Amino acid sequence: MIRRNARTLMPIAALALGAGLGTAVYCGPAAAAETTDVVRSGAADDTYSSSSRPSYNFGSSSTLVAGRQGADTMIGFLKFTVAAPGAGGTVKGAKVTLTRASGNLPGSIVLRKVAGTAWTEKTLNAKNDPALGAAIGTAKPAATAATVSFDVSSVVKGPGTYSFAVTSAVANTPARFRSSEATTGQPALDVTVTRKVVTQPTESAPATSPATPSPSPATPSPSPTTPSQSPTTPATTNPGECAVGAKLVPTCGVLWGAAAGGFSDVPRDEALKTFEAKTGRTSTIYHTYHKGDELFPTKAEIAMTNDPAHPRTLMLNWKVGYGTTWANVAKGDQDARIDRLATYIKANFATKQFFMVLHHEPENDVNPKDGSGQTAKDFAAMFRHTALRLKADGVTNAVFVVAYMNYEKWNSASWWYDMYPGDDVVDWIGVDTYNNAQPGGFHYGDFNYMMNRTSAGFPGFYNWATTKHQGKPVMVAEWGVYDSSATVVGKNKAAVYATVLPQLAKMPQIKGLVYFETAKDQSGHDIRMDDTPEALAAFQQIAADPRFNVKL
């Protein structure tokens, strides 16, 4: 289940270090190397002012206008927040990219520095717009150029908030760019970061072959818009030793799972079996969705956990507040609904542990207005009340997961942190997160970017979870890759999939990885792992990795 909004993007590319697949064996001293990442940020604020409409605010417009039309002079304003590059990181360069929205571009467009950063897109107009500074760069684009870029390396040299103005002196041909409110092509600031890393020399032995062997996708040349193609880092433990312990946390390795057949009429158990046959691995986690008065797990779901040849556990998603509000659930208005489910679980599924997600992706349903019953704090109270009520009712085998959307607009909201229900009732911290495989497209990036998109005041999801809630296992409760290219190119998804294993190895707190597979989501995105042969071959390489050999 996916919803999409806007704001900030994050690590897009990293230069490959070495190559090959297999089991690494230490054979020498550590060596220093340098990696290059491109950190992409969306505008924290963007709008424009109009001299002929001095009191008017354009902060909600999907278009950013700059230039002259008759006596009207319009100036576009952009503000970006750049996070610290991290330990050992050095900012080496930066550029701002704007996407043409409509009409022809003027022959000359100037980007200027703006010292003031206190303005906001909801309040700026021609009466209060900040003073313009020196020109940073001038672009002379073709009239129908798709994008216009400006080198801002002279200004962006480290973390901070940066403001820019877009102007043009060309008469009667104002530039119209897409703003952050547009659905695609939002303004972007790409910051190039280099850092020293230490690697251990290795010798490789062949890894387990995927179910359908196929040549690895060609590695594209590293660029600011190419996902990194790092060497696969194999599991460092004996896969035969990995098993689940308390709260279904694996003693080593990572739980593998899927929610297959989303937004289709195919029965979910049938869809999952097809997914498993194509990928070559049993989905240890079987993710399904329920709401309101539905009783679960269903007989079909229980049957999937009783297959000795394909051992699985359930991840059951429940919108307990369906038809009412979170505040009402927290007050006890739906205790009869909770108690009824508890009775059913104890009678039908009392002996096996399972994951229970309470109202996944809550951000999209938050109404921050006091008294709405749907504030972030109401969600936290609903989650706490439901979890504690189920436990009091004797449901002892539920492992509770809070699952966020990982969307920049929400992550930067003032209320976002209020949603966390508390370490005492949260067993796993989950995230639903998706990438676009279209080079240069919105939400284009590698696995690290998928897990660690930054935004104003937010350090990235994995960074937040592991810093603020140390020791809590992280569940990637939904993940997927789609390709928004006008013509789907097989190597695009394959390139993103190729980054999963090496970057997953650098995120040891991720203990579960659950793919959401659908031919068409709410936005029309195809998130199937087999929409092209190249994508399937690359995904099979992920599935074949021994780190997912965790015994239930």
Nearest to 517, CA basis, from 193, 279, 178: 279
Q: Can you read off the two tokens belonging to residue 529?
A: 């792992």
Q: Is the peptide bond before 459 cis (omega within 30 degrees of 0)?
A: no
**Known catalytic membership, residue 478:** yes
What are the CA-CA distances from residue 76 to residues 35, 132, 468 (Å)?
A: 35, 11, 37
Task: Give the length of the chain.
Answer: 552
Count CB-CB contacts under 10 A for residue 348. Answer: 13
For residues 85 and 455, give the distance between their C-alpha atoms in angstroms, rounded to a whole number.
13
Of the residues 276, 301, 363, 478, which is catalytic? 478
If phi > 0 it is left, if psi is from -120 to 50 it is alpha, else beta; for residue 290 that is: beta
Q: Can you read off the two tokens belonging to residue 27?
A: 């054979």
- Widest Cα–Cα separation across the chain: 77
Q: What is the DSSP-derived secondary structure letter of residue 550? A: -
For residues 3 and 161, give the distance between their C-alpha atoms in angstroms, rounded to a whole number.
28
Q: Can you read off the two tokens belonging to residue 217?
A: 């996708």
**Known catalytic membership, residue 203:** no
Strand boundaries in 236-280, DSSP class E: 255-259
Contact of 82 with 160, CB cutoff 8 Å:
yes
For the four alpha carbons of 370, 376, 377 and 383, in that order, the dihedral sign comes to positive
Q: Can you read off the two tokens belonging to residue 348?
A: 């039908």
Contact of 122 with 57, CB cutoff 8 Å:
yes
| Strands 31-42 and 11-14, bridge-based pairing | antiparallel
Of the residues 361, 363, 408, 534, which is catalytic? 361
Q: What is the identity of the amino acid at 472?
A: K
For the four alpha carbons of 267, 269, 273 and 275, in that order, the dihedral sign comes to positive
For residues 421 and 406, give the distance between their C-alpha atoms in angstroms, rounded to a whole number.
17
| Strands 89-99 and 188-199, bridge-based pairing | antiparallel
Nearest to 354, CA basis, from 475, 517, 509: 475
DSSP string, 486-521: SS--HHHHHHHHTTHHHHHTT-TTEEEEEEE--S--
Task: Cite the active site residues.
Answer: 361, 478
